Structure 1
Amino acid sequence: MRTMTNYIRPYLLRMGYGFVIKFFGTIMDLLLPWILAYVIDDVIPLKNIQMIFVWGAIMIVCSILALWANIFANRKASGVARDFTRDVRHDLYVKVTDLSSKQLDQLTIPSLVSRLTTDTYNMHQMVGMIQRLGVRAPILILGGVVITMTLEPVLCMILVATLPFIGLTVYLVSRKGVPMFSSLQRYIDQLVKVVRENVTGIRVIKALSKIDYEKKRFEKTNQTVVDQETKANYTMALINPIMNILLNVGLVFIIIVGAQRVNAGISEPGKIVAFLSYFTIILTAMMNVTRLFIIYSKASASADRIEEVLLKTKDLQVKELPVLTSDYFIEFNHVNFSFNQKELVLEDIDFHLKKNQSLGIIGATGAGKSTIIQLLMRFYDVSSGSILINGKNIQSIDEKTLREMFGVTFQNDTIFSDSVSENIRFGRALNDEQISLAAQNGMASEFIENLSEQYDTHLEAKGANLSGGQKQRILISRALAGHPKILILDDASSALDYKTDALLRQAIVKNYPETTLIMIAQRVSSIMQLDHILVLEEGKILAQGNHASLMQHCDIYRELAVSQMGGQIYEV
Structure 2
Amino acid sequence: LPKFKIIQQLIDRLNLVARENLVGMMVVRAFNRQGHEEQRFDQANLDLTATSLFVNRVFVIVFPVMMLLMNGAMMLILWVGAHQVAQSTMQVGDMMAFMQYAMQIVFAFMMLSMMFIMFPRADVSANRVADVLETPVTILDPPQPKAFPEPFEPSIEFDHVSFHYPDAEEDVLHDLTFRIEPGQTVGVLGTTGSGKSTVVNLIPRFFDVTDGAIRISGVDVREVTLHDLRDKIGYVPQHSNLFTGTVESNLRFADEEADEEAMREALRIAQAEFVLQGDESLDAEVSQGGANFSGGQRQRLTIARALVKRAPIYIFDDSFSALDYRTDALLRRALLQSLNDSTVIIVSQRVATIKNADQILVFDAGRLIGQGTHAELMETCDVYREIALSQLKQEALA
TM-score bin (small chain): 0.7 to 0.9
Question: Deviation at 1:524?
Answer: 0.6
Question: Deviation at 1:529?
Answer: 0.7
Q: Distance in 2 between matches of 1:345 and 1:217?
A: 36
**What is the TM-score with the length of structure 1 in the denominator?**
0.62
Q: Sort the Cα spacing of 1:311 and 1:465 in 2 relative to 1 into closer, same or farther, 3 A.
A: closer
Q: Distance in 2 between matches of 1:546 and 1:508?
A: 19
- 2:286 is the alignment partner of 1:463: no
Q: Identity across aligned pairs (percent)?
A: 36
Q: Distance in 2 between matches of 1:381 and 1:395?
A: 8
- Structure 1 equivalent of residue 331 of structure 2: 504
Q: 1:350 aligns with which of 177, 180, 188?
A: 177
Higher RCO (C-alpha 8 Å, min separation 6): 2
- 2:113 is the alignment partner of 1:290: yes
Question: Deviation at 1:228?
Answer: 4.0
Quick check: 2:74–2:103 contact (8 Å CA) kept in 1? no
- Structure 2 equivalent of residue 338 of structure 1: 164
Quick check: 1:239–1:290 contact (8 Å CA) kept in 2? no
- 2:376 is the alignment partner of 1:549: yes
Q: What is the root-mean-square deviation of aligned Cα atoms in Å?
A: 3.1
Instruction: Tell me the secondary structure at the aligned position of residue 318 of structure 1.
Output: coil
Question: Deviation at 1:223?
Answer: 3.8
- 2:257 is the alignment partner of 1:434: no
- 2:238 is the alignment partner of 1:411: yes
Q: Distance in 2 between matches of 1:262 and 1:548?
A: 111
Letter of the 1:203 partner, please give it. M
Q: Distance in 2 between matches of 1:567 and 1:217?
A: 51
- Structure 2 equivalent of residue 390 of structure 1: 217
Letter of the 1:329 partner, please give it. S
1:135-214 maps to which residues of 2 (within 5 A)?
Answer: 177=1, 180-214=3-37
Q: Deviations over 1:3-28 (max 9, x none)?
A: xxxxxxxxxxxxxxxxxxxxxxxxxx
Q: Distance in 2 between matches of 1:265 and 1:290?
A: 37
Quick check: 1:328–1:391 contact (8 Å CA) kept in 2? no
- Structure 2 equivalent of residue 34 of structure 1: none
- 2:66 is the alignment partner of 1:243: yes
Quick check: 2:70–2:107 contact (8 Å CA) kept in 1? no
- Structure 1 equivalent of residue 39 of structure 2: 216
Q: Distance in 1 between matches of 2:17 and 2:229?
A: 35
Q: Deviations over 1:21-70 (max 9, x none)?
A: xxxxxxxxxxxxxxxxxxxxxxxxxxxxxxxxxxxxxxxxxxxxxxxxxx
Q: Sort the Cα spacing of 1:236 and 1:508 in 2 relative to 1 into closer, same or farther, 3 A.
A: same
1:8-47 maps to which residues of 2 (within 5 A)?
Answer: none
- Structure 1 equivalent of residue 247 of structure 2: 420
Q: Distance in 2 between matches of 1:228 and 1:380?
A: 41
Letter of the 1:465 partner, please give it. N
Instruction: Tell me the secondary structure at the aligned position of residue 397 of structure 2.
Output: coil
Q: Distance in 1 between matches of 2:48 and 2:224?
A: 45
Q: Sort the Cα spacing of 1:490 and 1:232 in 2 relative to 1 into closer, same or farther, 3 A.
A: same
Q: Sort the Cα spacing of 1:217 and 1:405 in 2 relative to 1 into closer, same or farther, 3 A.
A: farther
- 2:137 is the alignment partner of 1:314: yes
Quick check: 2:186–2:360 contact (8 Å CA) kept in 1? yes
Q: Distance in 2 between matches of 1:237 and 1:289?
A: 17
Q: Distance in 1 between matches of 2:389 and 2:180?
A: 27
Q: Sort the Cα spacing of 1:392 and 1:196 in 2 relative to 1 into closer, same or farther, 3 A.
A: farther
Instruction: Tell me the secondary structure at the aligned position of residue 378 of structure 2.
Output: helix
Q: Distance in 2 between matches of 1:241 and 1:421?
A: 59
Q: Distance in 2 between matches of 1:265 and 1:422?
A: 81
1:44-59 maps to which residues of 2 (within 5 A)?
Answer: none
Q: Distance in 2 between matches of 1:364 and 1:211?
A: 35
Q: Distance in 1 between matches of 2:159 and 2:147?
A: 15
Quick check: 1:534–1:543 contact (8 Å CA) kept in 2? yes
- Unmatched 5+ stretches in structure 1: 1-176
Q: Distance in 2 between matches of 1:536 and 1:208?
A: 36
Q: Distance in 2 between matches of 1:287 and 1:321?
A: 58
Q: Distance in 2 between matches of 1:234 and 1:474?
A: 54
Flag the structure with higher helix content. 1
Quick check: 1:362–1:369 contact (8 Å CA) kept in 2? yes
Question: Deviation at 1:494?
Answer: 1.4
Q: Distance in 1 between matches of 2:3 and 2:282?
A: 52
Letter of the 2:348 partner, please give it. A
Question: Deviation at 1:216?
Answer: 3.1
Q: Deviations over 1:45-98 (max 9, x none)?
A: xxxxxxxxxxxxxxxxxxxxxxxxxxxxxxxxxxxxxxxxxxxxxxxxxxxxxx
**What is the TM-score with the length of structure 2 in the denominator?**
0.86
Question: Deviation at 1:290?
Answer: 3.0
Quick check: 1:240–1:290 contact (8 Å CA) kept in 2? no
Instruction: Tell me the secondary structure at the aligned position of residue 435 of structure 1.
Output: helix
Question: Deviation at 1:553?
Answer: 2.0
Quick check: 1:262–1:269 contact (8 Å CA) kept in 2? yes
Question: Deviation at 1:366?
Answer: 2.3
Letter of the 2:219 partner, please give it. K
State the aligned residue count: 393
Question: Deviation at 1:226?
Answer: 3.9
Instruction: Tell me the secondary structure at the aligned position of residue 535 of structure 1.
Output: strand
Instruction: Tell me the secondary structure at the aligned position of residue 400 of structure 1.
Output: helix
Moved more, 536-545 or 275-284: 275-284
Moved more, 413-422 or 241-250: 241-250
Q: Distance in 2 between matches of 1:379 and 1:268?
A: 78
Q: Distance in 2 between matches of 1:501 and 1:247?
A: 77
Question: Deviation at 1:351?
Answer: 2.0
Q: Distance in 2 between matches of 1:481 and 1:328?
A: 18
Instruction: Tell me the secondary structure at the aligned position of residue 257 of structure 2.
Output: coil
Q: Distance in 2 between matches of 1:399 and 1:521?
A: 26
Q: Distance in 1 between matches of 2:44 and 2:372?
A: 51
Flag the structure with higher strand content. 2
Q: Distance in 1 between matches of 2:129 and 2:79?
A: 52
Q: Distance in 2 between matches of 1:323 and 1:448?
A: 39
- Structure 2 equivalent of residue 31 of structure 1: none
Instruction: Tell me the secondary structure at the aligned position of residue 493 of structure 1.
Output: coil
Quick check: 1:359–1:517 contact (8 Å CA) kept in 2? yes
Q: Sort the Cα spacing of 1:401 and 1:262 in 2 relative to 1 into closer, same or farther, 3 A.
A: same
Q: Sort the Cα spacing of 1:215 and 1:366 in 2 relative to 1 into closer, same or farther, 3 A.
A: farther
- 2:196 is the alignment partner of 1:377: no
Q: Distance in 2 between matches of 1:221 and 1:560?
A: 45
Question: Deviation at 1:480?
Answer: 1.1
